[in-house]
Amino acid sequence: MAKKIAKKIVLEEHFLSPGIVNYWRPTVVDVEPKFAEQLYRRLTDFGDMRIETMDRAGITRMVLAISGPGVQAERDTATAVAKARESNDFLAREVQKRPDRYSGFAHLAMQDARAAADELERCVRELKFCGAMINGHTNGLYLDDPSFASFWERAEALGTPVYLHPVDPVAPSPALDGHKALRRATWEWGFETGSHALRLVFGGIFERFPRAKLILGHMGESLPYLLWRIDCRARLYGVKLKNPPSHYIKQNIWVTTSGMCAAEPLNCAIAALGQERVMFSVDYPFENAEEAAEFMDSVPLDEKTRADVACNNAAKLLGL
Q: Which residues are catalytic?
A: 283
57: three-class secondary structure by DSSP = helix
Nearest CA to 302 out of 1, 5, 7, 55 is that of 5
- Residues paired with 193 in a beta bridge: none
Listed in sequence order, the residues at least 6 apart from 303 whose beta carbon sits closer than 8 Å to its beta carbon are: none
Rounded-to-integer distance, Cα 92 and Cα 132, Å: 13
CA distance linking residue 101 with residue 90, whole number of Å: 16
3-state secondary structure of 75: coil
The candidate with the shortest Cα–Cα distance to 291, out of 111, 29, 53, is 53
- In degrees and rounded to multiples of 5, residue 266 shows phi and psi of -65, -45
> Is there a contact between 5 and 307 (Cβ–Cβ < 8 Å)?
yes
Say if CB 213 and CB 159 are below 8 A apart: yes
- Phi/psi at 7 (5° precision): -140, 145
